[in-house]
Amino acid sequence: MMEIFHTDASGSSRELKKLMGRRNYLAVVAYDPEAVPGQQQQPQQQQPQQQQQQGLQKLSLAVDFVVQGDGAFTAPTKYGPVIVPHLEFGR
């Protein structure tokens, strides 16, 4: 388990950093680290179909945890993103 809940939704420090007993949800998004702007791209000499399949093999997940604060009108607090790396066949 990862320690991602260092501060409470109210902003105070927390003792239990791995779990939070509040109403929450998470958003999971497909994440391709090679397609993120700002990173250097290496020139590839592959066919377009091979490039597309290569991108699918390195697809990761980005997970954001959103936690509701105290009270009815407080803004939710976002924790993340937590990147879940792609799996490699045979490892």
Q: What is the pLDDT of residues 2-12, one digit of tens each?
A: 899 999 888 89
**Whole-angstrom distance, CA of residue 76 vs CA of residue 68:** 4
Partners of residue 67 on adjacent β-strands: 24, 77
- CA gap 46, 29 in Å, rounded: 27
Q: What is the pTM of this model?
A: 0.65
Domain extent listing, the chain: 23-35+51-91
Cα–Cα distances in angstroms (integers) from residue 76 to residues 21, 45, 67, in the given order: 14, 46, 5
For 36-72, the pLDDT digits (tens) are 765 554 545 555 555 555 555 678 999 999 999 887 7
